[in-house]
Amino acid sequence: MSPDTEKIIIELVLKALNGDMDSINNLDDRVLRSKAKAALFKAKKDPDAYREKYSKSSIPNDNENNFKNDPITSYVLKGLDGDMDQINAIEDRVLRGKVKAALVKAKKDPKSFKMQVGLKEVKKQTIELDEEKVDIEESINQRIKKLALEKFPQSILNDDVEKFLLVDLKSWSSLSAYLKTEESLFFDSLQCQTGFDLGEGLLEARYNLHSMKHDHYTEIRIQVTKDNPRIPSVEEVWRIADWFERETYDMLGIHFDGHRDMRRILLPDDWEGWPLRKDYDVQETYHGIVIPKMKEGWE
Question: Which residues in the 185-204 window bind other proteins by CB under 8 A?
Answer: 188-192, 194, 196-197
Cα-based distances in Å from 206 to 12, 45, 64, 80, 196: 35, 34, 43, 39, 8
* Nearest to other proteins of 6, 242 (CB atom): 242
Nearer to other proteins, 31 or 149 (CB): 31
C-alpha to C-alpha distance for 128 and 191, rounded to whole angstroms: 33
Q: Is 240 in the site for other proteins (CB under 8 A)?
A: yes
Q: Toward other proteins, which CB reaches closer, 178 or 238?
A: 238
Q: How far apart are CA 215 and CA 187, in angstroms?
A: 9
Question: How many Cβ atoms are within 10 Å of 24's Cβ, its own excluded?
Answer: 19
Q: Which of 215, 207, 220, 213 is nearest to 37 (CA)?
A: 215
34 touches other proteins (CB under 8 A): no
Residues 6+ apart with CB under 8 A from 261: 242, 246
The residues in 37-96 that bind other proteins, with binding defined as CB under 8 A, are 89, 91
CB nearer to other proteins: give 26 or 69: 26
The residue type at 256: F
Q: Which of 18, 23, 31, 58 binds other proteins (CB under 8 A)?
A: 31
Q: How far is the CB of 193 from other proteins (least distance, A)?
A: 9
Residue 173 touches other proteins, criterion: CB under 8 A = no
275 binds other proteins (CB under 8 A): yes
Choose the binding region for other proteins from 46-54, 66-74, 111-119, 207-215 (rule: CB under 8 A).
Answer: 207-215
User: What is the identity of the amino acid at 219?
Assistant: E
Which phi-psi region, left, alpha or beta, contains residue 188 (left: φ > 0; alpha: ψ -120 to 50)?
Answer: alpha
Interface with other proteins, residue 127, by CB under 8 A: no
| Cα angle, residue 173 at apex, residues 261 and 207 outer, rounded to 5° | 80
Residues contributing to the site for other proteins (CB under 8 A): 26, 28-31, 89, 91, 163, 188-192, 194, 196-197, 206, 208, 212, 215, 219, 238-240, 242-244, 251, 264-268, 275-276, 294-295, 297-298
